């Protein structure tokens, strides 16, 4: 049954529900497996970690927690009525992890609702981030994984990381930059260390820096 996860379509979810209905003991076995994705720390981080291994954003976007339809939005299914909700609760309980805030039906419902609410955003920016060719792939991936590319620049950094897994690249410091440039123009850097100094200077414009007294 583990091969179904993360669940990628509503049809796969229905198949899972049917299989689980016939063999309920699998729920506890699965919960023990998914408990490994939880850890001490913020409850939201563990909820996000377990949920993204249970179902994809494509499927999660079809749900809200209660199954209520808000005005001018597509009809949603109720996540609390699925076996995945029971599996999530059981997995977090079995993990034995210490959460902040403490695990309860109320706090778990709140964090699960938040994750489901953001599923359409995650789904959309992931689909936009797929490169059409190798050309410029690195640049597109860097932007598409950023808060701006995901349309999530107005929320806190910890929540952005929980939603996108994105960490901003650290800029290279100036320390050592001068040394690298100096080496690239040196005879060793240009592969001209075996010819006379006058020829080297004529070819590269490089002149050895006299040592400091």
Distance CA 195, CA 138 (A): 40
Please count the residues of the chain. Answer: 213
pLDDT in tens, the chain (213 residues): 788 899 999 999 999 999 888 787 899 999 999 999 999 999 999 999 999 999 999 999 999 999 987 767 778 999 999 999 999 999 999 999 999 999 999 999 999 999 999 999 999 988 887 655 444 444 444 444 444 444 454 455 565 565 555 555 555 555 445 545 554 455 555 555 555 656 656 666 656 565 565
Other beta carbons within 10 Å of 59: 21
Beta-carbon contacts of residue 94 (< 8 Å; ≥ 6 apart)? 31, 32, 35
Whether the predicted model's global pTM rises above the 0.85 cut: no
Reduced to 3 states (helix: H, G, I; strand: E, B; else coil), residue 41 is: strand
């Amino acid at each position: 049954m583990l091969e179904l996860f993360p669940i990628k379509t509503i049809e796969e979810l229905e198949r899972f529900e049917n299989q689980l209905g016939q063999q309920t003991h699998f729920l506890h076995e699965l919960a023990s497996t998914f408990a490994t994705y939880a850890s001490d720390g913020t409850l939201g981080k563990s909820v996000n970690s377990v949920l993204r291994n249970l179902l994809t954003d494509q499927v999660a976007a079809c749900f809200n927690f209660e199954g209520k339809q808000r005005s001018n939005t597509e009809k949603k299914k109720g996540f609390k009525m699925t076996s995945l909700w029971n599996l999530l609760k059981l997995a977090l309980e079995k993990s034995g992890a210490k959460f902040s805030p403490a695990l309860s039906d109320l706090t778990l419902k709140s964090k699960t609702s938040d994750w489901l609410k953001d599923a359409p955003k995650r789904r959309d920016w992931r689909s936009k981030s797929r490169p059409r060719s190798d050309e410029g792939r690195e640049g597109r991936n860097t932007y598409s994984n950023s808060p701006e590319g995901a349309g999530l620049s107005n929320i806190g950094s910890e929540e952005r990381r929980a939603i996108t897994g994105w960490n901003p690249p650290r800029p290279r410091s100036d320390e050592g930059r001068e040394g690298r440039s100096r080496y690239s123009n040196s005879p060793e850097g240009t592969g001209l260390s075996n010819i006379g100094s006058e020829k080297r200077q004529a070819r590269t414009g490089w002149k050895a820096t006299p040592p400091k007294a």
